[in-house]
Amino acid sequence: MPTTPPPLQFDHKKGFEIETEHKNAIRELHGFGEKSTIQLIDRYKLGRSTIHRILDYKTTTRARPTRTGRPSKLTDARMSEIIEYCSEKWENRILDYDAIIRELKLDCASSTLQKRLH
């Protein structure tokens, strides 16, 4: 069930892209609100084909599967290993971030490690 109601205002100008929040609202009204296509056409002043195109989207936003971004230097599995290492002995707990990076031969900055541990 959606947590927020669909927006009440809709100022779509012909020829421009419909905002994602309005596309989500149309899907929510159709799916959860059980509004018919005709009711959506009347409310949003859009054509039948536009409404059907919005309802047929596979994802709510445009997905770019080829864009994955930079790989994380500290994965969750690696962070678990670091936490386990720090909790094994008292000497390991009081090390500073630079010492942990040197001992475990990590390829990241001490500020990165600090952010991930806090």
Write down the domain spans for the chain.
Answer: 1-63, 76-117
How far apart (Å, rounded) are the C-alpha atoms in residues 13 and 10? Answer: 9
pLDDT confidence tier of residue 9, bands split at 50, 70 and 90:
low
Average pLDDT over residues 92-104: 83
Q: What are the two backbone dihedrals, phi and then psi, of residue 6, each rounded to the nearest 5 degrees?
A: -65, 150
Sign of the CA dihedral running 28, 33, 37, 41: negative
Q: Tell me what pLDDT residue 65 has.
A: 61
Per-residue pLDDT tens over the stretch 43-94: 888 888 888 888 887 655 556 666 667 777 788 888 888 888 888 888 777 7
Please name the residue that has the structure tokens 């309802």.
Answer: 55
CB 89 within 8 A of CB 100: no
The mean of the pLDDT values for the chain is 78
CB 69 within 8 A of CB 59: no
% the chain with pLDDT above 70: 82
